[in-house]
Structure formats: structure tokens, C-alpha cells
């Protein structure tokens, strides 16, 4: 059960005798909310996101100069969406005089010019083929990815496993066969890699846990039971007031609400497990994580679903 931002703020203000402004209270509320959303893999936060992969881009030819980050295209039609992707100059079958290591694209100035994040290290050239593709995809609104499905579920690997298997991302297929989580982007959303590199666009569904979004409007609801958020925030408010002036009367309510927070958190976690299962124990078969058929985050909770398929 959750109550909205306005009622949480009003309740906390009464408990702390209006010693902090509503803006200060809401700052601490959102901090508590963010901490709780991120610190535990809540089953109730499961969601999915449909996306299309990026088709390997090879239109036109390129010219480049040794020691310069500028790449000039002929018939390329580049777009600003390619910023942050990588470019590989030359084709997989090219000679060693071309740079087969993908280099990040720092910016795209126009349809026929882009700037790489580092200078081109080898001999100058022109009229060569190239490849542009993303190394990573982001999932808006999702803080942690648990699985990816195309027509079948993709196997899960680590980024280091892919680095060892294919350090320069030469391998290509469509659709990809594996995904690897890779932290979060600048917005705090889950980021991951598809491997091998896609040669054509495909539709996928990604599964994960919702990300924290600041509560701003009076009617905004927290993603978790409000008792957890409110008691943690009151403890933070009391700690803030004690730190502000050293008044010992804030120590007792701080400790009291810290205890209430711990109790409400334990109840919320138990309820979450009862209703949604345990995120860390989701897989479609009882196989080793090293097996191709291991797909965390998809299909069944093996601690709850006992049917065999």
C-alpha cells in the first residue's frame, strides 16, 4: 500500500514539527526512494521494454587522414543518432593497412562528416568501406536488465566474456544470440550489449526492473510501500536536524524511526518474495550459468514454479 507525495510530505512535516520545509522533506524522500529502489532486486518492479536493434550501417565510402579524428564520407548520409556509436574503417576482409578496431564516434557534423573520439592511427586512405554500429543499448526507465528475448530468449554473458571471445567485434549475425549487461548510462538506465553484432534490424523485448524516478507531483506514488520510504525519510530528517544544531532531542526519534524502517523493510521484502518470487533465482531451466540455455530473468521462478516443461 502506498500513499502519494503530498500525504507523505504532510505526515513527515507533522512528525518533525515543521522543522524542515516541504522542499527539504521531498529532497530526503526522493533520496530514500532512490536508495530503496536500487538496493534490493524488488520483484514488484519487474517490467519489459520493446526495442529494435540497429542495422549495421555501411552505405557509401570514407576518406581519412592519419593523425586526424575527422572522417569524410561519400554517399554516406550519416545522422546525429550515430553519435556515441562506433565506426570500423575497412571491412573484415581488408588488409592490415585499415583500422579494424572500432572507434567511438564523438560527433556527427553532417551527412558526410563525423569526428571520432581519437585520431586515426594508420595510413591515410580514401574510397574504403566502413561499418557503423552501437556497442551498447540503453533501456529507458529500467535500472537493471534481467533478460532479452527475440523469437527465443538470448543467452546471458558478461561483457568480459564477449571481450575475450571477440575483442574487436568481428562476429556478426542476425538476430544476436547473447546479451551482456553493462552498468548504466548517464541517465541511470540499464545498458547492455547484443552479440554478435547485428547485420539487420530486429525486434526484441528486454526484461528488467523499473528505475527510480523523482516524485514531483503531489499525486505521484512511490514504487515501493510508502511505510518503508516514510520511516526512512523521518530518520533522515531527524539526523539532519541533529547535525544542524546538535539538539539531542532528535536522537531518540531518529533511532525510533530507524527501527520502524527496518521492520517495514523486512515486511515489504517478505511480501515481495511471496507475491513476485526472488529476482536472483529466475531462470528457465536448472542449468549452469555457463550453459547456453541459462537465461536469467525469463519464464519462471524456479523457487516457486515447479512444473516441468
The mean predicted confidence, pLDDT, of the chain is 88
Do 248 and 263 reside in the same domain of the chain?
yes
Whether 119 maps to a domain, the answer reads yes
Which phi and psi (to 5°) does residue 198 adopt? -70, 140
The candidate with the shortest Cα–Cα distance to 208, out of 136, 149, 275, is 149
Q: Residues 15-33, buried b or exposed e (16+ Cβ, 10 A)?
A: bbeebbeeeebbbbbbbbb
Residues in the chain: 309
* Residue found under cell 564523438: 106
Q: How confident is the model at residue 133 (pLDDT cuts 50, 70, 90)?
A: very high
pLDDT of residue 107: 97
Q: Are residues 201 and 167 in the same domain?
A: yes
Please state whether 18 falls in left (phi above 0), alpha (psi between -120 and 50) or beta: left
Residue 240 covered by a domain? yes
Report residue 281 as a C-alpha cell. Answer: 533465482
Q: Which of 85, 115, 133 is the last residue of a domain?
A: 133
Longest dimension (CA), the chain: 76
pTM over 0.85: no
In this model, does residue 293 exceed pLDDT 90?
no
Separation of alpha carbons 234 and 12, rounded Å: 6
Residues in CB range of 243: below 8 A, 6 or more apart: none
Q: Would you state the cell numbers that stand for residue 199, as one nine-digit string?
A: 547485420
Does position 300 have pLDDT exceeding 70, yes or no? no
In which band, very low, low, confident or very high, does the pLDDT at 123 lie, cut at 50, 70 and 90?
confident
Rounded Cα distance between 137 and 190, Å, is: 8
Q: What tens digit of pLDDT does each residue of 49-77 get?
A: 999 999 999 999 999 999 999 999 999 99
Q: What is the pLDDT of residue 302?
A: 39
The per-residue pLDDT for range 262-282, each reduced to its tens digit, is 999 999 999 999 888 776 544
CB under 8 A, 24+ apart: contacts of 261-268: 261/228, 261/231, 261/232, 261/235, 264/225, 264/227, 264/228, 264/231, 265/36, 265/228, 265/232, 267/227, 268/224, 268/225, 268/227, 268/228
pLDDT at 305: 45
Name the residue range of residue 68's domain: 61-133
Residue 130: what pLDDT? 92
Percent of the chain with pLDDT over 90: 74
What are the backbone angles phi and psi of residue 255, rounded to the nearest 5°? -70, -35
- Please check whether residue 299 lies inside any domain of the structure: no
Establish whether the linkage from the previous residue to 92 is cis, with ω within 30° of 0: no
Alpha-carbon distance of 309 to 303, in angstroms, equals 15
In a domain, 287, yes or no: no
Residue 23 lies in a domain: yes
Q: Which position has the grid cell 507475491?
A: 275
Q: Are residues 79 and 106 in the same domain?
A: yes
Q: What is the domain count for the chain? A: 3
141 and 128: one domain? no
Residue 2: is its pLDDT beyond 80?
no
Residues 6+ apart with CB under 8 A from 61: 73, 74, 75, 76, 126, 127, 128, 129, 130
pLDDT (mean) for 187-207: 93
The three grid cell numbers given for residue 14, joined into one nine-digit string: 507533522
Contact assessment for residue 105 and residue 115, using Cβ atoms and an 8 Å cutoff: yes
The residue from 182, 210, 238 where one domain ends is 210
* pLDDT at 166 > cutoff 70: yes
Amino acid at each position: 500500500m502506498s500513499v502519494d507525495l503530498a500525504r507523505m510530505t504532510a505526515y513527515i512535516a507533522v512528525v518533525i514539527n515543521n522543522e524542515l520545509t516541504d522542499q527539504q522533506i521531498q529532497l530526503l524522500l526522493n533520496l530514500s526512494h532512490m536508495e530503496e529502489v536500487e538496493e534490493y532486486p524488488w520483484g514488484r518492479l519487474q517490467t519489459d521494454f520493446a526495442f529494435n536493434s540497429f542495422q549495421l550501417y555501411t552505405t557509401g565510402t570514407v576518406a581519412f587522414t592519419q593523425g586526424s579524428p575527422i572522417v569524410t564520407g561519400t554517399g554516406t548520409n550519416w545522422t546525429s543518432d550515430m553519435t556515441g556509436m562506433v565506426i570500423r574503417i575497412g571491412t573484415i576482409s581488408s588488409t592490415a593497412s585499415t583500422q579494424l578496431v572500432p572507434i567511438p564516434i564523438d560527433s556527427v557534423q553532417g551527412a558526410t562528416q563525423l569526428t571520432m573520439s581519437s585520431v586515426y592511427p594508420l595510413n591515410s586512405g580514401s574510397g574504403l568501406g566502413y561499418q557503423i554500429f552501437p556497442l551498447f543499448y540503453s533501456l529507458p526507465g529500467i535500472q537493471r536488465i534481467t533478460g532479452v528475448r527475440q523469437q527465443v530468449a538470448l543467452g546471458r554473458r558478461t561483457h568480459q566474456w564477449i571481450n575475450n571471445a571477440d575483442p574487436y567485434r568481428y562476429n556478426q549475425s542476425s538476430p544476436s544470440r547473447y546479451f551482456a549487461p553493462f552498468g548504466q548510462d548517464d541517465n541511470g538506465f540499464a545498458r547492455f550489449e547484443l552479440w554478435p553484432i547485428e547485420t539487420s534490424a530486429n525486434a526484441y523485448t528486454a526484461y528488467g526492473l523499473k528505475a527510480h524516478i523523482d516524485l514531483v507531483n503531489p499525486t505521484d506514488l512511490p514504487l515501493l510501500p510508502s511505510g518503508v520510504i516514510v520511516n526512512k525519510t523521518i530518520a533522515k530528517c531527524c539526523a539532519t536536524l541533529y547535525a544542524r544544531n546538535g539538539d539531542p532531542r532528535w536522537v531518540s526519534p531518529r533511532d525510533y524511526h530507524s527501527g520502524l524502517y527496518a521492520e517495514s523493510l523486512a515486511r515489504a521484502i517478505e511480501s515481495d518474495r511471496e507475491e513476485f518470487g526472488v529476482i536472483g533465482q529466475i531462470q528457465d531451466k536448472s542449468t549452469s550459468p555457463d550453459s547456453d540455455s541459462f537465461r536469467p530473468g525469463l519464464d519462471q521462478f524456479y523457487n516457486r514454479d515447479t512444473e516441468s516443461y
